[in-house]
Amino acid sequence: MPDKIRYYSTMGKAPEVEFAEALFQGQPPDGGLYMPTRIPKMDPSEIEELKGQPYRDVARAVLWKFLCDEMPEQELDRITSEAYNFEVPIERVHDRRHIIRLDQGPTASFKDFAARFMARTMQFYQRSEDSERIILVATSGDTGSAIANAFWGVDGFRVVVLYPKHEVSERQARQMNTLGKNVVAVACETKFDQLQANAIRAFEDPDLAKLRLTSANSINWCRLMPQIGYHFYAYTALEPEKGEPIVDAVSSGNFGNVTADFITLRMGKPVQRILVATNENDEFPGFMETGIYRPIHPSKACISNAMNVGNPSNMRRLFDLYGGQIDRQGMLHKMPNLDALRRDAVGMTVSDALTHITIQSVYEQYGVLLEPHGAVSWAALHRYCSLREEEPLSIATETAHPGKFPEALQAIGVEPDLPESMKGLDEKKQDFFELSEDYGEFKEFMFRLA
């Protein structure tokens, strides 16, 4: 039997913890992020067996590798069946180029994959005699609604969701501020990066300890882990030849999405290249090119707004995977193995202009409707594959439903249908608080809430 997986801090100055502690604590006290002490392998025959299998079976098999010492198998089976009660369509766009639509969950973004799994996992550990926990989440748009929806009406949990007032679309805001019940929405007069800094400070603030704050941002390992499921499925569902490598283009903001894909590579998924696709917040592509890491501050407001992150939290995990170390301010302490990173991945920046053109041309040429985040990874895929002599098997993540971004699609004269789950949203009553970027004010607010 291999060792039980425990979780260590990427900064190396906090004790290792068990899964449940990493789950509720969110982040270690030393400013690092939790990583598994061992990345389990899927051997080629196991991957073969998963080819053509439905989503929840693939997700269960892959996640079982991480959770086999944590819960009974039928519990994981229940969690995956309940969490993944929606379709995960894969469309061929042309040649061997595909998109995976991760937008069929209740809040119409891929964040549902992690949020729904995490809520059910926390429920599994939360006992009825435990006092209420507050899930605090800072969001650039989609995390907040996914988490709020996943915990909505769940006993023992309250959700406080902070969003940047001017950086989320009208519909994204409505998905958070029309829920009510145990969900408290807060519109803030600042940028996502500042909100995230406030949230992180709150988790570490001893004055707030009695609120039992729990993080649901992708700094939490349990937000990242479930995403390993769809990156595996993107491969097994295409049923490649045994061992045939794939090219994955991954829309990247806070880097949870793409770090999960790097983990599938470590687990044994055959990958030719991971294309790390960013918008104009291009600190990572810049690093890949020059070896110098420079957070973008302040972050740029691009149309793929959920990717407007100038100092991605999960860079700590990604660098750790390659033997490097970076702190949460984006200061490099130890250089990752850049050669290895360059063998596995390519960083690609996609401008807003190219994002617009991509949405338009993919629609005109192939009748396929993309939204801005998916267009970023598609543009990266297109650039990469067009330069190859042999067309590789490839897939790009379409991370949200086009109906969430009607503003961005006006230019091509298409009014996308709303996903079923969002119908009626425009008529619902909104209810939210307003705060500035000031931490003191935010703290006051949290006290009043308690």
Q: Report how many residues bind ligand PLP under the rule CB under 6 A.
A: 18
Q: Which stretch in 18-26, 255-263, 293-301, 328-336 sits in contact with ligand PLP by CB under 6 A?
A: 255-263
Cα torsion through 408, 414, 420, 421, rounded to 10? 10
Cβ(431)–Cβ(180) below 8 Å: yes
CA-closest candidate to residue 394, choices 88, 100, 52, 41: 100
Q: Which is nearer to ligand PLP, 47 or 258 (CB)?
A: 258
Q: Is 109 in the site for ligand PLP (CB under 6 A)?
A: yes
Q: Which is nearer to ligand PLP, 28 or 374 (CB)?
A: 374
Reduced to 3 states, what is the DSSP secondary structure of residue 172? helix
How crowded is residue 135: how many other Cβ atoms within 10 Å of its Cβ?
28
Least distance from ligand PLP to the Cβ atom of residue 255, Å: 5
Q: Which pair of structure tokens corresponds to residue 315?
A: 């860079």
Q: Is 147 in the site for ligand PLP (CB under 6 A)?
A: no
Candidate residues 6, 60, 98, 111; the one interacting with ligand PLP per rule CB under 6 A: 111
What is the Cα–Cα distance from 34 to 23, expressed in whole angstroms?
10
Q: Is 255 in the site for ligand PLP (CB under 6 A)?
A: yes
Q: Is 358 in the site for ligand PLP (CB under 6 A)?
A: no
Q: Which stretch in 53-61, 245-253, 294-302, 340-348 sits in contact with ligand PLP by CB under 6 A?
A: 245-253
Candidate residues 98, 171, 269, 373; the one interacting with ligand PLP per rule CB under 6 A: 373
Q: Is 349 in the site for ligand PLP (CB under 6 A)?
A: no
Q: Is 142 in the site for ligand PLP (CB under 6 A)?
A: yes
The residue count for the chain:
450
Q: Which is nearer to ligand PLP, 198 or 305 (CB)?
A: 305
What is the Cα–Cα distance from 315 to 298, expressed in whole angstroms?
17
CA-closest candidate to residue 191, choices 304, 309, 279: 309
Q: Is 51 exposed, middle or buried (0-12, 13-18, 19+ CB in 10 A)?
A: middle
Q: Which stretch in 81-89, 247-255, 349-357, 439-447 sits in contact with ligand PLP by CB under 6 A?
A: 247-255
Q: Which is nearer to ligand PLP, 137 or 393 (CB)?
A: 137
Least distance from ligand PLP to the Cβ atom of residue 104, Å: 13
CA-closest candidate to residue 311, choices 205, 195, 185, 214: 195
> Is there a cis peptide before residue 15, judged by omega within 30 degrees of 0?
no
**Pairing verdict, β 7-9 and 34-36:** antiparallel
Q: Which is nearer to ligand PLP, 142 or 283 (CB)?
A: 142
Q: Which is nearer to ligand PLP, 278 or 394 (CB)?
A: 278
Candidate residues 80, 252, 279, 299; the one interacting with ligand PLP per rule CB under 6 A: 252
Q: Which pair of structure tokens corresponds to residue 101?
A: 């639509």
DSSP line for 37-80: SS-----HHHHHHHTT--HHHHHHHHHHHHHTTTS-HHHHHHHH
Least distance from ligand PLP to the Cβ atom of residue 192, Å: 10
Q: Is 306 in the site for ligand PLP (CB under 6 A)?
A: yes
Least distance from ligand PLP to the Cβ atom of residue 309, Å: 7
Least distance from ligand PLP to the Cβ atom of residue 271, Å: 18
Looking at this protein, which amino acid is placed at residue 367?
A: G
CA-closest candidate to residue 167, choices 294, 108, 253, 260: 253
Q: Is 122 in the site for ligand PLP (CB under 6 A)?
A: no
Cβ(116)–Cβ(130) below 8 Å: no
Q: Is 218 in the site for ligand PLP (CB under 6 A)?
A: yes
CA-closest candidate to residue 190, choices 174, 168, 173: 168
How crowded is residue 59: how many other Cβ atoms within 10 Å of its Cβ?
28
Least distance from ligand PLP to the Cβ atom of residue 252, Å: 4
Q: Which is nearer to ligand PLP, 221 or 255 (CB)?
A: 255
Q: Which stretch in 254-262, 347-355, 433-441, 442-450 sits in contact with ligand PLP by CB under 6 A?
A: 254-262
> Alpha helices, DSSP H only, in 180-226?
192-204, 221-224
Q: Where in 394-413 is the site for ligand PLP (CB under 6 A)?
A: 399-400
Candidate residues 175, 177, 214, 251; the one interacting with ligand PLP per rule CB under 6 A: 251
Residues that bind ligand PLP (CB under 6 A): 109, 111, 141-142, 218, 251-258, 306-307, 373, 399-400
